[in-house]
Structure 1
Amino acid sequence: MSTYSYQRVHQDKKNQPLAVYRSPDNSARENDVDWQEERVVKFEQSVSTSKLETALKKMSKQAAQYEFQMKELESQLSQSLSNFRAIDSLFKEASTGIKRNYKRAERALHSQIPAIETSLDESSNTLSELAQTLPKIRTQAKDIRVVYDSGREKAQSLVMDLTWLNTSFHERWRRTIFMPNPPVSGRWKAFMRFLFTISFLLCCTVVWVGLGGAYRAYRHKLVWGERLMS
């Protein structure tokens, strides 16, 4: 701080303000001190402004980061809110479905279960009756199957007889002689085969005699047709 020399003059009795006087040496010193103080203040102001600028830059960066984080947080909050609304709607639907199913279950418990129990009792009674009558029904089914099989065999034999009667005589004769199991009696089959063997032997003898006569005619240089049977 600067030092001042003051000369005080006593004022009069009417409380006049005090008069302050400065010497020329003191004024020069005060000017030098003021210039140094202004320089220090300017330096401090420049230093403080650079610090303020760096601080402001840092604060602006932090503010931008905070703003970006706030936007991300806002988007996350909006997404979480939409998810919460969807979950809330699903929960409401599930709760309504559970209530509806609970009412249906209570209704079924009070109305349908007794009916089911009565129907089960009736079914058990009918099953016991069927268990008693099942052996009789089984024997009757066996008898019906036997009758059905016999009727089917008879029908098949009748069909075979009808087809046999509808065939021609030549076809029946061929089947009787050459087939192992023709639909005829054993006597008729033996008789037909006996006749076939006799006729076959006669034909063979006739052919043999004819061939012998032809051979003899060829050996004796006879004209064909003359003395053929001699």
Structure 2
Amino acid sequence: MSTSNKRQSHLLDKSAQEHDNTKMDLWYENFTGGNAEESVSTSKLEEALKKMSKQAAQYEFQMKELESQLSQSLSNFRAIDSLFKEVSTGIKRNSKRAELALVSQIPAIETSLEESVDTLSDLAQTLPQIQTQVKDIRAVYDSGREKAQSLVTDLTWLNTSFHERWRRTIFTPTAPVSGRWKAFMRFLFAISFFLCCMVVWVGIGGVYRAYRHKLVWGERLMS
């Protein structure tokens, strides 16, 4: 790339020199050809030289710009080339990794999937049996819990006093006894309560009659 840039700059310099030479020849012919007797003034010659110097400076500036553009393009091309090389190496590396994955990892994944499918099929076959066993265990547990609760209730009832059991049987529905026993106890309580009331009533009536009888005999004795 550097040799090609040098050749291009050399060709541009050569073309610029040829262009300057042709302009100088034309200027010389215009001022010397035809009428050899006419003399060129110094002012015109200076103006022509100034124009030629300006054009030469412009050509030199353009050459420098072209050279800077070429160097910038060359640096950009080098950067692009390096990026392309990096990308190509990355693609090659990734392709190698993908090939290794295809060769080594995919068979392992397939075998693990097959093992998982076999395990799931075995579990699907044994799951109904496990469910029935769990139901049986739950039923046994529930029955044992109910029996334990009933035993605890019976023991608590037996540990209570007779007066408390009698009171709960007659006046509350929470006593752990049968309905017939509750009805019988309540019937006995009603009969005993009625008899007690009758005895109290008879006693009160007798006391009242005795009091009146004494009061009457006392009035008679006083009279």
Which bracket does the TM-score occupy, shorter chain normalised?
A: 0.3 to 0.5
- Which has the greater radius of gyration? 1
If each structure's helix is expressed as a fraction of its own residues, which one has the higher value?
2
Give the TM-score, by structure 1 length.
0.47
